[in-house]
């Protein structure tokens, strides 16, 4: 990897100077250079950041300053070492302590003070669910000029591409799409109230840690409302009158859905999961009658007045969310990870094992069962890492680490083409790589590559690589 692409020569020189002074322990120069520098995590040809260089030489004051200024301690050099790993290897305990404290955050009662927010998990909207039954309020919001509409067909959003090649969701206003609503009531499109708030689509950021104070906890009625509308088979030209560059993101292509900006992914995921529910659940599962949509898209009611689903509370009336256990399984030696591949994966790609949870299971047992079924590996202790809504159509991915208590693999060839233990260094190298065909790994004949950062599997694998500092 060369100098960061797209960096101007001047910025590149400042980054190089930052790394040099960090490695030298020159606190004053580091402090001066870091002012206003957009990318504090610039790397040299070997993937070393300023933080790593300061950690290498035990400059704890510089390390503290760099961490305070937001340097990313999870980055790894091309040898797969994090700043913490480097500090521990060269035995700089003060630096190790600083980085460990930074990782753990200030809350001593939990292992980390920051919850991981995965792709599709970041939404700035307050769902404002108490307003879902307020028909008058909803009607006013529907017609309000500040209200934003996102439109879907075949469960896929209408988007535009920016000049920089970024995928952004088209935002419509009522006046632009009111023709959709000017139909007899029965033909009106499925419309979901998503919530209120501002969704700022900035440049795509990395999956980030969550700062709860930034959420719209204090959102008020003054904030704009958001709705998702299933536009059905409306001709594209009608929408392009309002948004000339509007196009439909490839339907049925899950990878396409991952190209929306991180800031918009949560809203799109919420909308897609609910629209998919309406698409698949049009009839009462208990009696077969037609269902009536209520509560701004969050409830179904059977039209048959005799149906017993109308007595008491039944889950037939509410959106479906399917929990899936997904787990990075760690070898008893701590330095190998169990990954598997499906036939339909691109060549060389392996990922975490995963499976739908069954009724009557705990998360931990679902992890053990799935891993045993697919690989014959026995898992003992299980720890939770993070979760991710996955709108295809409406999964809840529950990401865990599983600690293997056996090592001999038997692949369930009905489910998977291959399951293997991978060495930490090979996994770390694959994390650096971009996709299929990049970089041969270790002694294996084919290159390993991993799911993209938008998938929780990627985040679990990354967390594991950073988990044991002692490489």
- The interface with a second copy within residues 61-100 (CB under 8 A) comprises none
Residue recorded with tokens 């339909």: 344
- The nearer residue to a second copy, 380 or 439, going by C-beta atoms, is 380
Single out the residue of 49, 153, 156, 388 in contact with a second copy (rule: CB under 8 A).
388
Which residues, listed in sequence order, are joined to residue 398 by a DSSP beta bridge?
Answer: 325, 387
- What is the footprint of a second copy within residues 246-275 (CB under 8 A)? 266, 269-274
- Length reported for the chain: 471
- The nearer residue to a second copy, 336 or 386, going by C-beta atoms, is 386
- Rounded CA separation 225/269 (Å): 17
Of 56-64, 116-124, 148-156, 344-352, which part binds a second copy (CB under 8 A)? 116-124
- The nearer residue to a second copy, 90 or 356, going by C-beta atoms, is 356
- What is the footprint of a second copy within residues 169-228 (CB under 8 A)? 210, 212-213, 215, 217
Of 20-28, 31-39, 182-190, 371-379, which part binds a second copy (CB under 8 A)? 371-379
Judged on CB neighbours under 10 Å (0-12, 13-18, 19+), 53 is buried
How many residues in the shown chain lie near a second copy by CB under 8 A?
Answer: 88
- Rounded CA separation 25/54 (Å): 7
Shortest Å distance, C-beta 196 to a second copy? 13
Residue recorded with tokens 């998503």: 194
Single out the residue of 13, 162, 253, 362 in contact with a second copy (rule: CB under 8 A).
362
- The nearer residue to a second copy, 72 or 279, going by C-beta atoms, is 279
Shortest Å distance, C-beta 379 to a second copy? 7
Single out the residue of 146, 383, 407, 444 in contact with a second copy (rule: CB under 8 A).
383
- Rounded CA separation 169/100 (Å): 39
**x/- contact string, 271-300, with a second copy (CB under 8 A)?**
xxxx--x--xxxxxxxxxxx-------x--
Asked if residue 120 binds a second copy (CB under 8 A), the reply is: yes
Single out the residue of 77, 81, 123, 124 in contact with a second copy (rule: CB under 8 A).
123
Residue recorded with tokens 């960061």: 4
Asked if residue 56 binds a second copy (CB under 8 A), the reply is: no
- What is the footprint of a second copy within residues 410-429 (CB under 8 A)? 412, 414
* Angstrom distances, CA of residue 426 to CA of 335, 345, 433: 11, 19, 11
Which residues contact residue 318 at a Cβ distance below 8 angstroms, ignoring those fewer than 6 apart? 298, 299, 300
- Rounded CA separation 353/331 (Å): 14
- What is the footprint of a second copy within residues 322-361 (CB under 8 A)? 322-323, 334, 356-361
Single out the residue of 380, 434, 436, 437 in contact with a second copy (rule: CB under 8 A).
380
- The nearer residue to a second copy, 69 or 369, going by C-beta atoms, is 369
Shortest Å distance, C-beta 270 to a second copy? 3
Shortest Å distance, C-beta 74 to a second copy? 16
- Rounded CA separation 303/284 (Å): 8
- What is the footprint of a second copy within residues 136-175 (CB under 8 A)? none
**x/- contact string, 429-468, with a second copy (CB under 8 A)?**
--------------------------------------xx
Asked if residue 306 binds a second copy (CB under 8 A), the reply is: no
Single out the residue of 59, 171, 368, 462 in contact with a second copy (rule: CB under 8 A).
368
């Amino acid at each position: 990897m060369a100098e960061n692409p797209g960096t101007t020569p001047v910025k590149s020189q400042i980054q190089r100077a930052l790394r040099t002074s960090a490695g030298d322990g020159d606190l004053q120069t580091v402090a001066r250079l870091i002012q206003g520098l957009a990318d504090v995590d610039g790397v040299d040809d070997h993937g070393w950041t300023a933080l790593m260089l300061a950690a290498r030489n035990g400059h704890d004051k510089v390390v503290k300053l760099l961490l305070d200024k937001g340097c990313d301690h999870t980055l790894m050099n091309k040898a797969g070492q994090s700043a913490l790993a480097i500090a521990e290897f060269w035995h700089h305990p003060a630096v190790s302590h600083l980085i460990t404290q930074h990782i753990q955050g200030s809350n001593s009662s939990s292992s980390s003070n920051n919850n991981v927010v995965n792709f599709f998990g970041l939404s700035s909207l307050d769902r404002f669910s108490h307003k879902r039954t307020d028909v008058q309020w909803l009607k006013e919001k529907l017609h309000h000029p500040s209200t934003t509409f996102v439109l879907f067909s075949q469960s896929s959003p209408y988007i535009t591409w920016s000049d920089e090649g970024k995928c952004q969701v088209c935002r419509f206003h009522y006046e632009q799409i009111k023709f959709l609503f000017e139909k007899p009531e029965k033909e009106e499109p499925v419309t979901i109230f998503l919530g209120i708030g501002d969704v700022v689509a900035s440049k795509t950021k990395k999956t980030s840690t969550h700062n709860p104070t930034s959420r719209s906890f204090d959102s008020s009625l003054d904030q704009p409302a958001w709705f998702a509308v299933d536009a059905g088979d409306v001709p594209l030209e009608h929408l392009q009158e309002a948004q000339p560059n509007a196009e439909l993101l490839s339907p049925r292509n899950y990878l396409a859905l991952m190209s929306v900006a991180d800031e918009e992914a949560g809203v799109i995921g919420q909308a897609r999961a609910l629209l998919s529910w309406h698409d698949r659940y049009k009839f009462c599962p208990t009696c077969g009658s037609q269902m009536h949509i209520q509560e701004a898209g969050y409830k179904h009611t059977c039209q048959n007045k005799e149906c017993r689903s109308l007595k008491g509370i039944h889950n037939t009336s509410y959106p479906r969310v399917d929990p899936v256990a997904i787990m990075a399984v760690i070898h008893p030696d701590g330095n190998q990870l169990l990954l598997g591949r499906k036939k339909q994966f691109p060549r060389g790609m392996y990922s975490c094992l995963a499976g739908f949870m069954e009724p009557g299971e705990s998360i931990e047992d679902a992890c053990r069962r799935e891993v045993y079924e697919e690989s014959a590996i026995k898992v003992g202790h299980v720890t939770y890492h993070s979760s991710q809504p996955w709108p295809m159509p409406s999964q809840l991915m529950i990401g865990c680490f599983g600690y293997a208590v056996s090592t001999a693999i038997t692949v369930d060839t009905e489910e998977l083409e291959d399951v293997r233990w991978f060495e930490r260094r090979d996994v770390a190298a694959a994390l650096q790589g971009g996709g299929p065909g990049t970089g041969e790994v270790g002694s294996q004949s084919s290159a390993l590559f991993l799911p993209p950062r938008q998938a929780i599997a990627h985040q679990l694998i990354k967390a594991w690589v950073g988990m044991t500092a002692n490489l």
